[in-house]
Amino acid sequence: MERVSAGTKLTVLVLFAPFILWMLLLVILPHIDLLTISLRERVAPRVYEFSFKNYMEFFVEPLYWRTFARTAIMSILATVLTLIIGFPISYYIAKIARGRLKSSLFLLCMLPFWVSELVRTFGWMILLRESGIISGVLQWLGLADGPVEMLYNDAAIMVGLVYTSMLFMVVPLVSTLDSLDDGLIEAAYDLGGSTIAILREIVIPHAMPGIVSGCIVVFMLTLGNYLTPTLLGGKDSLWFTEQIYNQFITRFNWEQGSAFGFLLLLLSSAIIWTGLRLTRQRLQDTIK
Amino acid sequence: MNADASAAFDLEVESVVKKFAAFTAVDEVSFTVPKGSFFSILGPSGCGKTTLMRMIAGFLEPTSGDLRIKGRSMLGVPPNRRPVNMVFQHLALFPMMSVAENVAYGLRRRGAGRAEIEEKVAAMLARVGLPDAGEKRIDQLSGGQKQRIAIARCLVLEPDLLLLDEPLGALDLKLREQMKVELKQLQADVGTTFVYITHDQSEALVMSDQVAVMNAGRFEQVGNPQALYYRPETAFVAGFVGDSNRWIGAAVAVDGRGIKLATDDGLVLYGTAAGRGQVQSGGSLDVFVRPESIAISRSGKDMESWHNRVQGKVKNLLFNGANSRAVVIDDKTGFELIVALPQTGEFADLQRGETVHLGWSAEQTLCFVHDGAAEAA
Amino acid sequence: MFKYKQEGRIVMIKSTLKVLAGTAIVALFAGNAQADTLRLLTWGGYAPDEVIALFKKETGIDVKVTKSNNEDMISKLRATGGSGFDLAQPSQDRIAGAQREYGIYKPLDLSKINKAQFIDSMFKSTTSQSMVDGKVYGVPHVWGTSGLIVDKSKAGWVKDYTDLCDPKLKGKVSYRLKRPTLIGFAFAMGMDPFAAYNDKAKYAEILSKVEKKLISCKGNVKAYWSGGDQLLNLVRSGEVVAAMAWDTGGWKLNNEMKSVTFVAPKSGALGWIDSFALPARGKNDEAAYKWINFVMQPKIAAMITKAAGNFTASKGADNYVDARLKAQFQESFPQEAIDNIKWYPPVPAGLEEMEGKVLDRIKAAKSN
């Protein structure tokens, strides 16, 4: 066993210090604080007692767990759609496009992320609103009699979420597909594999780490998204993060907000764990 | 087409051309491969052999010409429907599957029954000497074992033709030597027609029944290894297959096939016309003499019977066991010759700077009309 | 492994730690302010640049403005325990409750305030409503109302909040999903929520009726607006023809589109008074008192009215107010409408939680 000198140890410590500090100050300490806040109940002005009431509230009041269920289901759907749309794009970028085309396509995927999420979402609102561009074009083409409202519904939320998430799916997919030896595809083809069989047995199993990491990132981002569902969904958006925001900001109910925050963390982790079990993947494999 | 005539050949390639934009990678290549034979295509990198193989496998379509397997034209048939399988240069074993699943892949795709697959896979694994490897993962195999699995994965499908694309390239020398013997043995056992491409002449010569030497998109010569080695038809083949001493010279006098010539260094030699061109007096020549056809002696008297004689000093000794050589500098012209040392041990004490006498026959001095193509080698 | 855990946590931070992180940063930067700086937590338009410049000229004090709203003010001050700002401007009905609950303000020293500059009735109302344990926590500044913004060419018949639910306006209506909407609808439905403020059971009954109404009304709503500009854009584009909103928004639109204006609802506009309160751990009370006395001068108050669109509690400021705004006010508020304004009483503790759940359920309901 090689002996680690004191100098090396110090270097490692210095290099990791910002990360450790970041974790401690912005992740661990606030979470401990949130946990303690979530476990108390207001009994009178400025008087609090230890209680699980805030957590019970989530299960007792159908509104809250239904909102969570809806958020989770929409997020899963958005993740699946992002995967379905992102996979062919990634495959094209990684395996078919060459040279400049490849880099420009990749750039094209990243371009929307050079503007803020707010601007991107407003872009969609300009397109989809009743007095917006798509509605105008449809009327001009004679395909619609009057203004068409495409905003403020679940489909609009979905479009916005998929659009916002695309990059986070495409990047890991392109990098795993890039590492797939073309020879494997040719060999499978040569041995009698059809396109679909090759996709199922060679390409997808190889891309699995990328698929898993892409899906986890997209799912978590979507679940935690606040702007897109609120702005595009309008009166029916109903997103769980919105509930948390409301509890903190407009209800001054930090206790409830903290509890919801913790429930979001636990339940989303549970969903990812279940997803990994169902697809027989391990988290460790995704960082290979 | 005459079905009986074509049945003798597993592969017929007829005037195949492949162009990539302005570049012609394969230029009017025609050849036939008899059933059950081991056929090699030998050529330097960039000569078009990989392109040719990919056309046979179906990954590329020829620009013109025809490819027939067992008499059936393969034009427009995708790779997964050709009775051809290919062992890839980097083997391309599927890392996401076990060894047995790799071997079973093609059978499964054909829709074979579970029992049949199990039986055939077990038999094939036994045949390549890895009966217990089925459950292993690919990354648990050694280089040579992977090689065998890659071949087994193809052979289990009983293809009409097995293509091998420099499959030994990644192996170390010792294993490569061993695999050459194994491959040859395996081919003889299963009787499947092998088409093997390589840039390594030793692989081609050791294993093949027939070798085609390819250069710049064309076949220079097709023949058995002995013919290529002893009777090269072009200067390229003479230079590419085996080692040779080589001069550029001019014919001084021509008498039938016998030629008297002078090299650029001023050495006068007697040679024999080889290849297709007609040697003219005064014409420019490529001259090849193999190191093992040169006799060496410490005494000038022994050399008197030879047409060509040279006296020189040993510049360097290249000891390599049975394959040891000496580099000798001609006293008159300063030209370097490489000479094979006899195995008798007579020259085991040969010293650098020692004077030796060399001699060789006119028959073993092959003269080709100079056309520049040999430079490529 | 780590990477993805972080992802999860980033999401968490984004959503639940916004307040903590945000206020920590605010405290950090605002805390650096020097003694000759007034850190003001207020509404958009209440501290126009020209007024700040005049104040600086007269007193030498810089004013650093942070724009906010009622909920945000309480959240920010609560997170820092009442530090980070020297003067805040919550509505008068949101002072006493927040003070009792979180102790984020300190009592005002009325001797330092020039009472003569205030309209008497308003000064009395605000000081009495913001009283906790016999101490005064607020003095009035700007007042205004919530009511209806109507495009008279398209929905001139809209006279009250409940008219917004008429099937003729399907998809053409907007209002906020906040407590004023609940209160306004309760009045329009013939109930008196303010009278029930101290009777939780009664109040719950009122809320449940309003909840039913607003759920059935959901199909009419184009979008629940959350920012003033958002609503103005919806009306400008013609996507919304009637809305519940602040009076100033209506007058602003009236300047651009003749047919749109503010209408005081039949059941009464809801009157609010934004006030001045001292954060518990403010560092520059002197500057705060100076600012209060400065902006209550009639001429300065008129400048604020011009910027914010709302009138102030400054005595005599009317004389300096833009004639057009005055005309718009008189058109929207005939005398009986002024008499009919329902002024918000202080919100007792616990009501906001009940309202919150009602609002959540309305949001969650399917629109018909």
The CATH number for B305's domain is: 2.40.50.100
Statement to judge: residues C355 and C213 lie in one domain = yes
Measured between alpha carbons, how far is A124 from A159 in angstroms, rounded to an integer? 9
Question: In angstroms, what separates the C-alpha of C367 from chain A's closest C-alpha?
Answer: 8
- Looking at the partner chain, which of B86, B109, B153 has a beta carbon nearest the beta carbon of A197? B109
Predicted pLDDT at C221: 92
- Looking at the partner chain, which of A66, A224, A251 has a beta carbon nearest the beta carbon of C364? A66
Question: In angstroms, what separates the C-alpha of A205 from chain B's closest C-alpha?
Answer: 7
The yes-or-no reply on A/B contact (3 CB pairs or more, < 8 Å) is yes
Statement to judge: residues B226 and B272 lie in one domain = no
Examine residue C340 and state whether it is found in any structural domain, yes or no.
no
What CATH number did the domain enclosing C55 receive?
A: 3.40.190.10
What CATH number did the domain enclosing A80 receive?
A: 1.10.3720.10
Question: In angstroms, what separates the C-alpha of A98 from chain B's closest C-alpha?
Answer: 16
- B92 with A181: Cβ contact below 8 A: yes
What DSSP assignment string belongs to A205-250?
Answer: HHHHHHHHHHHHHHHHHHHT--HHHHHHHGGG---HHHHHHIIIII
Tell me which chain A residues have a C-beta less than 8 angstroms from the C-beta of C237.
129-131
Predicted pLDDT at A3: 58
- Model confidence at C6, in pLDDT bands (50, 70, 90)? very low
Question: In angstroms, what separates the C-alpha of B109 from chain A's closest C-alpha?
Answer: 6
Q: Could you report the per-residue pLDDT of C24-36, keeping only the tens digit for each?
A: 444 444 444 455 8
Taking the Cβ of residue A285 and every Cβ of chain C, the question of whether any pair is shorter than 8 Å is answered with no
Low-confidence ranges of chain A (pLDDT < 70): 1-4, 284-288
Statement to judge: residues C6 and C99 lie in one domain = yes
Q: With a cut of 80, say whether residue C349 has pLDDT above it.
A: no
C-alpha triplet A130, A132, A136: angle, nearest 5°: 90
Residues 201-220 of A with CB under 8 A from C: 213, 216-217, 220
The count of other CB atoms within 10 Å of the CB of residue C157 is 12
Measured between alpha carbons, how far is B363 from B276 in angstroms, rounded to an integer? 16
User: Please, are residues B121 and B104 in contact by the beta-carbon 8 Å criterion?
Assistant: yes
Statement to judge: residues B214 and B260 lie in one domain = no
- A226 with C78: Cβ contact below 8 A: no
- A251 with C102: Cβ contact below 8 A: no
Q: Which residue range is the domain that position B105 belongs to?
A: 3-235
Statement to judge: residues B100 and B189 lie in one domain = yes
**Residue of C16, C347, C361 to mutate for A, most A C-beta atoms under 10 A:** C16
Residues 22-41 of A with CB under 8 A from C: 26-27, 30-31, 33-34
Q: What are the structure tokens assigned to C324, written together?
A: 């057009």
CA distances from A69 to A64, A140, A267, B262 (A): 9, 40, 10, 94
Examine residue A272 and state whether it is found in any structural domain, yes or no.
yes
- C15 with A224: Cβ contact below 8 A: yes
**Residue C268 φ then ψ, to 5°:** 110, 130
Statement to judge: residues C70 and C206 lie in one domain = no
- Looking at the partner chain, which of C16, C353, C363 has a beta carbon nearest the beta carbon of A257? C16
Q: Could you report the per-residue pLDDT of C83-122, keeping only the tens digit for each?
A: 999 999 999 999 998 898 889 999 999 999 999 999 988 8
Predicted pLDDT at C33: 44
Question: In angstroms, what separates the C-alpha of B248 from chain A's closest C-alpha?
Answer: 44
If you measure CA to CA, which chain A residue comes closest to B101? Answer: A201
Question: In angstroms, what separates the C-alpha of A142 from chain B's closest C-alpha?
Answer: 46
Examine residue A118 and state whether it is found in any structural domain, yes or no.
yes
Question: In angstroms, what separates the C-alpha of A95 from chain C's closest C-alpha?
Answer: 27
Statement to judge: residues C188 and C39 lie in one domain = no
Interface of A with B (CB under 8 A): 181, 183-184, 186-194, 197, 201-202, 205-206
Which residue in B66, C215, C103, B354 sits closest to A63, CA to CA? C215
Q: What are the structure tokens assigned to C227, written together?
A: 């920012």
Give start and end residues of each alpha helix (H) in chain C: 2-16, 18-30, 49-59, 70-80, 96-102, 120-129, 152-155, 179-188, 200-216, 228-236, 247-256, 285-295, 298-308, 323-332, 335-339, 351-364
Statement to judge: residues B173 and B84 lie in one domain = yes
The count of other CB atoms within 10 Å of the CB of residue A6 is 7
Q: Give every CB contact of residue A37 below 8 A, 6+ residues apart in sequence.
A: A254, A255, A258
What CATH number did the domain enclosing B20 receive?
A: 3.40.50.300
Q: How many structural domains compose chain C?
A: 2
Question: In angstroms, what separates the C-alpha of B104 from chain A's closest C-alpha?
Answer: 10
Q: Which residue range is the domain that position C293 belongs to?
A: 2-143+272-335
Measured between alpha carbons, how far is A48 from A39 in angstroms, rounded to an integer? 10
Q: How many beta-carbon pairs under 8 angstroms link A with B? A: 62
Chains that touch B (3 or more CB pairs under 8 A): A
- A192 with B109: Cβ contact below 8 A: yes
Q: How many structural domains compose chain B?
A: 2
Measured between alpha carbons, how far is C302 from C144 in angstroms, rounded to an integer? 14
If you measure CA to CA, which chain C residue comes closest to A263? Answer: C12
Residues 68-127 of A with CB under 8 A from C: none
Written as tens digits, the pLDDT of chain B (377 aa) is 444 444 678 899 999 999 998 899 999 999 999 998 999 999 998 899 999 999 999 999 999 999 999 888 999 999 989 999 999 988 899 998 999 999 999 999 988 899 999 999 999 999 888 888 889 999 999 888 998 899 999 999 999 899 999 888 878 888 888 888 888 988 988 889 999 999 988 889 989 999 999 998 999 999 999 999 988 988 899 988 888 888 888 888 888 778 888 888 888 889 898 887 788 888 888 899 999 889 888 887 878 788 888 889 999 888 888 888 899 998 888 888 899 988 777 788 888 888 999 999 988 899 888 875 444 44
Examine residue C341 and state whether it is found in any structural domain, yes or no.
no
- A190 with B80: Cβ contact below 8 A: yes
Statement to judge: residues B82 and B207 lie in one domain = yes
Q: Which residue range is the domain that position A261 belongs to?
A: 55-287
Examine residue A35 and state whether it is found in any structural domain, yes or no.
no
Which residue in B17, B369, B43, B2 sits closest to B199, CA to CA? B43
Chains that touch C (3 or more CB pairs under 8 A): A
**Residue of A68, A152, A221, A248 to mutate for C, most C C-beta atoms under 10 A:** A248
- Looking at the partner chain, which of B90, B106, B109 has a beta carbon nearest the beta carbon of A181? B90
Examine residue C324 and state whether it is found in any structural domain, yes or no.
yes
**Residue A243 φ then ψ, to 5°:** -60, -45
Statement to judge: residues C360 and C325 lie in one domain = no
- B78 with A189: Cβ contact below 8 A: yes
Examine residue A208 and state whether it is found in any structural domain, yes or no.
yes
Statement to judge: residues B223 and B289 lie in one domain = no
Question: In angstroms, what separates the C-alpha of C271 from chain A's closest C-alpha?
Answer: 20
Examine residue C330 and state whether it is found in any structural domain, yes or no.
yes
- When computed from its CA atoms, the radius of gyration of chain C, rounded to whole angstroms, is 21
Tell me which chain A residues have a C-beta less than 8 angstroms from the C-beta of B92.
181, 183-184, 186-187
Q: Could you report the per-residue pLDDT of C203-254, keeping only the tens digit for each?
A: 999 999 999 999 999 999 998 988 788 899 899 989 999 999 999 999 999 9
Statement to judge: residues B255 and B210 lie in one domain = no
Q: What are the structure tokens assigned to C193, written together?
A: 């929520």
Predicted pLDDT at C35: 56
